[in-house]
Structure formats: C-alpha cells, structure tokens
Amino acid sequence: MSTLPDPSARAAQLRDQLRHHEHLYYALDAPEITDAAYDLLMRELKSLEADHPHLVTPDSPTQRVGGRPAEGFQKFPHSRPMLSLDNAYSADELRAWDTRVRDLTGDLPIRYVAELKLDGLSLALHYDIDATGHARLLRGITRGDGSTGEDVTSNVRTIKSIPLTIPAEKLAKAGLLKPQQSLFDPREAESPAGQAVEVRGEVVMPIASFQRLNLDREREGLAPAVNPRNAAAGTLRTLDPTIVARRHLDFYAYFLLQSGDYLAQGQQATLDALTALGFRVNSHRQTLSTVDELLAFIAQAESLRESLPYEIDGVVIKVDSHPTQLRLGYTGRAPRWAIAYKFTAQAALTQVQSITVQVGRTGKLTPVAELTPVFVGGTTVSRATLHNSDEIARLGLKLGSWVKIERGGDVIPKVVEVIIDAEHPEGHAPYTFPTTCPECLQPVHRAEGEVDFRCTNIDCPAKLRESILHFSRREVMNIEGLGEAIVAQLLDNHLIASVADLYTLTLDQLLTLERMGDKSATTLLAQIEASKQAGLARLLMGLGIRFVGERTAQLLAADFGAMEALAAATQPELERVEEVGPKVAAAVLEFFENVRNRALVARLADLGLKMTAEKRIRTDQLAGLTFVLTGTLPTLSRDQAKERIESAGGKVSGSVSKKTTYVVAGEEAGSKLTKAQELNIPILGEPALLALLNCSAED
C-alpha cells in the first residue's frame, strides 16, 4: 500500500492551514509561524495544484491574484444604499447631535459605539452560503454613488485580510446559521444555500505600504502619490490585480448585513460577529453612554493618530441598539443614528505666490491662493480657497504674504490667518479683485446684499464647462468618464454647447477626441443613455438652479411629481414645500422664467430624459394640527408616520407642549407620553392615526 498522501486530501489540508495562518497574520496580528514556513506551505500547494489542475478551487489561497477584468469594471447595485455620515467638528456640535438623538427616542437608554474613522474607501463584500454551509466570496463592490458601485472582485481577492471562504463553524459562532444549518446534511430539507451575507468596511493602504509605493514611484521618475487614501482608491481601481497585490491593501470590517438588513442585536454585537467570522476589526473601539465619555475617547484617539500604522481622520459614533436605529431613521442622505466626529484641522505655514480666480457654473468668481507647496493633513497643498473679495480684505492678504492654512479630512484647504513677524515679513503687493470675468472678459456684478461677484454673461465658456461637469457628477446624472479633459475637448471642438448636446453625441464624433478609443467611446455613450432614467430629482440638481441641492431637489420632485408642474408653480405653491423658503422659491421662479432655460428643459424632454417622479399626495385635512410621535408603532416607521401626517397638512414636532394637538404613542413610549398625560393631550395609537388620515397601513 502506498504511503504517499492522497493529493486531494493533502491539498484540502494545505488550504485549511494557509487560511488559518492568513487569519492569524492579517486579521489578528498574531502569527504562529515564520514567513518562510508559510511560503513553504504555499509552494507545496501551488505544486500540487500544478500537477493536479482539477484540485484548484476558486477560494484557494493560491488564487488570490486572478485574471484581469475582461471589460473594465462592471456596475453593480448595492443591497441597500451606502450612505454618507453627517459630521461634527466640535464638542458643541456633538452635544447638539446627542440632544437630537435623545429627543427623538424619548427616555430610552442610549449607548453609543465609538470607532476610529479610518481614512480609506468603503467596500461591500457579498458572500453566498453554499449547500455545505460555507460562505464563499462572490463579489466586492465599491461605494460608487451610494446606490451603485463597481465590481472590483478581481482586486478584492488579492487583499489577504479578506477571507475568500468563511467556514460554517464561524458562521454558526457569529449567529448567522441555525445549529442544524452549520452541520448541514444535504438530505435535510432546510438548507442554508442561497442565503446572502454582506460585510461592509474600509479599504486602507497602510502607511508603510504607502511609503514603499512612493519610493518605487521615485525610482521610476514618477510623481509621488499625495496620500494613502487616494493611493488606496487608485489601487483598487487598477485593472491589473498583480499590481494591487504588490501594494498590500488592508480591509477593516464594521457592518454586517444578512438578507440586506443590519444585525438585529446592534453595532457592538455586529463587531463581535465580524471578529468571529475572521475579519479584521479595529481594536480601538468602546461602548459609551455620555458625551463626556465620547469626548474622552476622541481625545485618546487623536493622541494615537501619529503612532497608528494607518491614517485616521476622526471617530465614528453609532447608536448601539438596532431597534433604536430603526426608530431614529434617516435624513435624505445620512442616518440619524450615526455621526462622524472630524479631528481638528491640521495647519501649516506657507507663502502666497499669486491669486487666481475660478468661475463656477453659476458665474460665481472664487479667488484661489496659489501657494508654495506644503505638506499638511496627509497631502501636499499648493492651492487654498479665499472664498471672496471680502475675505481677502478681512485677512489683510497681499501677494507674497505668509499664511496659515488648515485642512481637515475632506475639507478644502483654506487660508485662516496672515502671519506677520520677524521671520515672516508682510506681503509685497496688494491684490485688486478683477472687474471683468477672467474667462469671457465681460463685466462682473455683485448684487446688493451678496458677497460674491458673478459673471452675468449667459454664454460664458467657464459657466458652460462647469455646468456640464456638474451635470455629469456621480451624485447628479452619474455620467462616468465625462471628466475635465473630455469636456474641454468637446467644447473646444464645438461638439456641445449645452448639456442637452450630450445626448446627440455620436460614436464618430467621440472617436475624433484625443485618447478616446472605440471601447471608451462606446462606454461613455452607454453612460449618457443610462442617465436619461436618472429621474426628476437628479435632473433638477443637474440644471444648476441656485440653492437647489440634493435634499431640496428630492423634496421638490416628490411634491410636484413632474417638471411641467414645477415649472408652472407660483411662489406660494413653492413655499408650501418642506424646507423651501422665499429665497429658494425665488430662485426656482427665476430659473423657469428664463426663456433659454425653459427651452433647454423642453429639449431634454424631447431627447427622452425622465421628467417625472413619484408624487407625494398632499391634502389639507390635518392643517393646523400638531403631532408628536413616541414609541414604536406596529406597522409604520417614524419616518413613514411623519410623512403621512405632513402630506395631510399636519405638523410633526419633536417635543410635547400645550400647542400639541395629539401624541401618537406606540410600544416603549417614554417621557413624551407621560408629559402628554400630564397636560391632558389626546393620545392616539396607530389605528386611530390611520383613521384620522382616512387611510390604511396598506395604502
């Protein structure tokens, strides 16, 4: 009888050993064997798989670097939006957020989970559970626009802190499988196959890897990468996975979803479950109850900043309880139950070489200080905004002035102070703000009561260029590939004169542009065509109406339901919309009163752009009534109840007073219910509210 091991059994044994040691090394920082011993195991497995190709499995440690994506990166929708977070920059702002959380949740006990805010890029990992109860990595998706990202699975597989397979035993330990599923027998009726597990987290480039990257770039005569975050983002979108593997990216997990929903036990339980699954989870985290405790954690985190092996730019704070998160809900773009506390901006001294002026899509002239390059806040800064002419005067800024600049997180660098002392002499020449547009040379104008000068020339090329770039942004019409260089060529070659002309571009026209191949041109045309279905809210953002950002565009779209109805609205009708005041209403009216703007909208409609949205039906049946919501309702979320009340003309308040008409109470109603009883305010349950609204929960 042969004493040689069965190749299949030995390959399986080697795979298990290598996964075990990868987890110890990359997730726990606790290796048990030397790098040389690990390499011996890997070489043996590679040799076995080379001799027996049928033994190669997709999740084998040897397969971390696969082939290139055949057609670049494909788009893939997220199971639920990957939202951004609201920010706090001071203790007062953090206390105000804490007060809002407690006001919205009544007297429920609140505990927070505080975690380091890693300065990287968000990633969603999708796993499918197979018939044996193991979870296999299916795909990795970038954040993208929050709704749709790019499938970068080929690169994700090279990140060794991301497990390619999660054993059934770990799934069971994390509470993601029932006991009988973790020991699944194919003969049993209840199979875990087809279940989806999703892990979200942050991809970072460790500082050591970043420094090695820049040394390599220096040897190759290339410009250094400016910071680890940008380097990580660029690396993850590289089409060659072997390059990604060489740059040693890392992944820290912080969210776990099953069937598209967060783990019911809460955030701390989620982090524990992710650890049990074998993911790297940041160890610098605490569960805390008060703002003072949070501020102490933030101070401790900031003191660690320089000694950590990766970059951080703040602390993320989340309400721990999942039911409380559901009660708090979301704003238009961020959860109410989480906030990012950004560290104090980092500062440096440098000298102003000159001042240039940029022209935005609304014609606004923004002065920009051109600086002697200086490293601050993780990046090299050579420009900083000066906001407007009044700010230049306030600072006493001159050409040649020495200035203090600040940069914090993603905040645009800004000049905060002019420095004049023995080492930093006063600037040599005053700066005069231009009286004509630097792009079209037409006179600029500053309206009474405003601080900004604007170019009023409707045909200003700068306004057109910036309008098209704004229109194509990811969060607006999402036309990827329409960057500054392409837009400049389209304008220089007179191929477009408005955003509507984007929809008449042909393949032959695009192929005349520099560095535009057949595949790139075809992809861009497909992106432009897909943007036709972006919807009314995004289109309103894209049109560049003053003061109409993402939230206002969504509210206008929901209230009017169609571009035609919005264009015909009066000032009072516009001001009826939530969060729309006289200033915004006047801007909308001004836009649609312009003949050229109306012609542009009509042309976009003729070209097939979607001009409608699901309309929120409004009535006046609850006009003059004020409601306060407390507790958990049987079928309606707090946001749904608020929406129904406001759509019927009622007002929803966060606190109970003598002016409150009704308090709507559900399970675990807190102090608001008690106060309503003390003031003899009528209490409604959900059925009574629905009856008052003359509707049912199924409507």
Which pLDDT value is given to residue 11?
81
With CA atoms as reference, report the closest residue to 23 among 160, 202, 225. 160
* Residue 310 in domain: yes
Which pLDDT value is given to residue 512?
94
Report the pLDDT averaged over residues 678-685. 91
Same domain, 130 and 272: yes
The domain of 427 spans 346-431
For residue range 287-307, list pLDDT tens digits in order. Answer: 999 999 999 999 999 989 888
Same domain, 546 and 646: no
Report the pLDDT averaged over residues 134-157. 89
Q: Are 479 and 472 in contact (CB under 8 A)?
A: yes
Tell me which H or E stretch contains 382. Answer: strand 379-385
Same domain, 288 and 424: no
Same domain, 540 and 600: yes
* CA geometry: angle 648, 653, 655, nearest 5 deg: 155
* Residue 82 in domain: no
User: Which segments of 307-349 does DSSP mark as H helices, in order?
Assistant: 322-328
Which pLDDT value is given to residue 2?
46
CATH code (residue 405): 2.40.50.140
Whole-prediction pTM: 0.57
Number of independent structural domains in the chain: 6
Residue 185 has pLDDT above 60, yes or no: no
For residue range 320-346, list pLDDT tens digits in order. Answer: 998 899 888 887 678 999 999 988 777
Three-state SS for 339?
A: strand
Same domain, 212 and 280: yes
Residue 697 has pLDDT above 50, yes or no: no
Same domain, 174 and 212: yes
Give, in order, the Cα–Cα distances in Å from 331 to each of 337, 438, 454, 471: 10, 39, 32, 23
Same domain, 225 and 326: yes
Report the pLDDT averaged over residues 243-265. 86
Look at residues 606, 637, 657 and tell me which one is the last residue of a structural domain: 606
Q: Tell me which residues are annotated as active site.
A: 117
Report the pLDDT averaged over residues 168-178. 80
Same domain, 376 and 336: no
* Residue 613 in domain: no
Report the pLDDT averaged over residues 531-535. 94
Say how far apart CA 151 and CA 72 lie, in whole Å. Answer: 9
Residue 593: which residues within 8 A CB-CB, separation 6 or more?
none
Three-state SS for 698?
A: coil
CATH code (residue 117): 3.30.470.30
